[in-house]
Chains A and B, each alone.
Chain A
Amino acid sequence: MIDELDLALDRKYEAGFVTDIQSETFEPGLDESVIRRLSTMKGEPEWLLEWRLKAYRSWLEMESPDWANLDIEPVDYQSISYYSAPKSMKDRPQSLDEVDPELIRTYEKLGIPLHEQQMLAGVAVDVVFDSVSVVTTFREKLAEAGVIFCPISEAVREHPELVKKYLGSVVARNDNYFSALNSAVFTDGSFVYIPKGVTCPMELSTYFRINELNTGQFERTLIVADEGSQLSYLEGCTAPQRDDNQLHAAVVELVALDDAKIKYSTVQNWYPGDENGKGGIYNFVTKRGIAHTNARISWTQVETGSAITWKYPSCILKGDNSVGEFYSVALTRGRQQADTGTKMLHIGKNTRSTIITKGISAGRSSNAYRGLVKMGPKADNARNFTECDSLLIGDKCGAHTFPYIESRNPTAIVEHEATTSKVSDEQMFLCQQRGLDPEKAVSMIVNGFCKEVFKQLPMEFAVEAGKLLEISLEGSVG
């Protein structure tokens, strides 16, 4: 039975194809001159160049982190090219019709119907293709509400005061090895600003895609929700099949000012590598949000891709009564390795956080949850509830849970629950006896296991996430 499952899980990556778009790409290598050239090409102001150079200098001083629970080959940073742009980007397209049809076809193959469904669904799409944003829709409608949603490179030019104020305010330039690298060389990403009291009229979404050989991806996302505002942001990723490991070191910063609410959802489906783990994406992302008084930050993520995932979306609960949430589904198969989790730093009084994670391991993969809950001395009556559930498929995979709790306030309460279960032969037999094939049965059981997290996702994303798990678990695509 389980061997049969292994076979079923052994599917080829569906999105594995390469788009043929000519690119203008830097030679591999990194030094200060590369950063200057990058900054000049992007027409950046002096302060940003200085900021990058400082980040670069601190990065040089830092050591690559000790790989937690991961078994990893060292990354050669000099073999990476730090800038690439599709040629057709020289003149920015004004509408989707002007977009390189090859790119549109790529998205269609991925089942991302940019043209119709997205618009019908009312989603504004800021597509990051390699490093430069090529399509932005719904800008006007958002502008009417006073919402700014644009490539961060554009925000640097058009809204320098906002960028200068908040860039690096949540994830410091020298916070960690990868955030320092990102700060030095980030090429583009999204910028969002929601003015006071405004509820963003639509869900905002970005699709990331990596398509250039040896091109590191260093997106930078900055989202600022001003007092009393609200937004829901969707991030989805998928990449074509590649032979070289591709590094992805993004930084996402969220700022929720007093009474603001930010919901950030990610469905991540990067190429996980072949059966032996060769050729997948290395995904080292720093995601962090700061919640001021009465604010709420909610991270929801569904991770199915990458050879190696290392990320801990975190919340700094600075303001009194602020709320942090982390809902996660991480599926590993083949030889994938994931080490993910969250950090909830309770600083203000009555701060609350909820962590619900569902780890699914199949094949020979390894899936670890690592979470830190820290109750500061002023965090009176703070509460955390953590639930970590692991589901094993087969007996060659592993699941690990590493909860770290630091409490410096006696009135704070931290609760932790963890379970590990297997897709049992009895469950499989019941499903099959009712006529379901083994692949369908596994995907159904797994989807059921993830239900608590899926229901946190926006509707259409939840459907997509369910399908993604099903596809990820199937031997063939139907």
Chain B
Amino acid sequence: MLSIQNLHAGIEDKSIIKGIDLTINPGEVHAIMGPNGSGKSTLGYVLSGRDGYEVTEGSATLNGEDLLDMDIEERAVAGFFLAFQYPVEIPGVSNMVFMKEAVNAAREARKQEPYTAGEFLKLAKEACKQVQLPLDFLKRGVNEGFSGGEKKRNEIMQMILLQPTICFLDETDSGLDIDALQTVANGVNSQRDPNRSFVVVTHYQRLLDFIEPDFVHILADGKIVQSGDASLALKVEKEGYGFLGINYVEEDV
């Protein structure tokens, strides 16, 4: 479904992604690990079409369609979802209104009737419970005054409501305590489906204990330097990136 070929991209004149090939089939879970600054977030931004990111070479298609040719919102309604590493606040815009507009935008693109307020409220309440956020979070401003963990749960709630086909989760596990981690993982697992795939960016094996990946890729300096199965993540956990010959300086995450 998502096919990335020889992708080169960067910001302004700075090259960050330096030739990535990756094919993600329906139903698969791919974990991406790698040192800070290796380009993991950049990959998510490039695929979602964020302004300022230039693709200099290569291609990316989603279900055969040229992803790189679409506007941000077109990619979104086509099924590309990015869970942000650092979700921003939108003060005064209730989560509920925000998500209803978003879900209905996707429905409109699929020529489906928009949900009524009542229909949507029901779905939203369920999703809210699923990520174990109190229901009043639906009324609160988007991420407004949320703790780090609450923001990440909120990302997963949005994912559940939007029902995307490909979910790119950028360090959704960073900064979570073990309960929150489990909630997030349960949220993701509940959405695993033969027609939906996941790219899970993480530094930690512990997330992969809950969300079992089909493939693990190590990204370093804008390239995938090694791919393998779940055991590769275990090896990274034990040995760090040293065995790959990467000069890796641990930073605060």
Contact = CB atoms under 8 A, between A and B. Distances in A.
Interface string A404-436: 000000000000000000001111011111111
Contact of B76 (A424, A434, A438, A449): A434
Interface string B56-92: 0000000000000001110011000110100110111
Contact of A429 (B72, B101, B142): B72
Contacts of B87: 430
Interface in B86-113: 87-88, 90-93, 97-99, 101-102, 105-106, 109
Size category of the A interface is 20 to 34
Contacts of A451: 92-93
A424 B98 CA distance: 16
Interface residues of B, number: 30
A438 B72 CA distance: 9
Given A435-B73, A435-B77, A440-B105, A430 B92 contact: no
A444 B73 contact: no
Contacts of B90: 427, 430-431, 444-445, 448
Interface in B1-23: none
A444 B50 CA distance: 19
B48 interface: yes
A6 to B, nearest CB: 14
B169 interface: no
A444 B98 contact: yes
Given A425-B51, A429-B51, A444-B97, A436 B102 contact: yes
B152 to A, nearest CB: 14
Contacts of B98: 431, 434, 444
A440 B88 contact: no
A154 B198 CA distance: 72
A57 B102 CA distance: 60
B198 to A, nearest CB: 16
A447 interface: yes
Contacts of B52: 425
| Candidate in B50, B71, B92, B99 with the most chain A CB atoms within 10 angstroms | B92
A145 to B, nearest CB: 35
Contacts of A235: none
A450 to B, nearest CB: 7
A445 B91 CA distance: 8
B188 interface: no
Interface string B139-167: 00110000000000000001000100000
Contacts of A20: none
Contact of B84 (A430, A445, A449): A430
Contacts of A427: 88, 90
Contacts of B88: 424, 426-427, 430
A435 B102 CA distance: 5
Nearest to B79: A435
Contacts of B48: 433
Contacts of B50: 429, 433
Interface string B199-243: 000000000000000000000000000000000000000000000
A436 B73 contact: yes
Contacts of B77: 435
A275 interface: no
Contacts of B97: 444
A452 B91 CA distance: 11
A121 interface: no
A156 B91 CA distance: 49
Contact of A435 (B51, B93, B109): B109
A463 to B, nearest CB: 13
Given A435-B102, A440-B105, A450 B76 contact: no
24 contacts: A426-B88, A427-B90, A429-B50, A429-B72, A430-B87, A431-B90, A431-B98, A431-B102, A432-B73, A432-B76, A433-B50, A433-B73, A433-B76, A433-B81, A433-B82, A434-B162, A435-B76, A436-B101, A437-B73, A437-B105, A438-B73, A444-B93, A448-B141, A451-B92
Interface of B: 48, 50-52, 71-73, 76-77, 81-82, 84, 87-88, 90-93, 97-99, 101-102, 105-106, 109, 141-142, 158, 162
Interface of A: 1, 424-427, 429-438, 440, 444-445, 447-452
3 tightest A-B CB contacts, nearest first: A448-B92, A448-B93, A451-B92
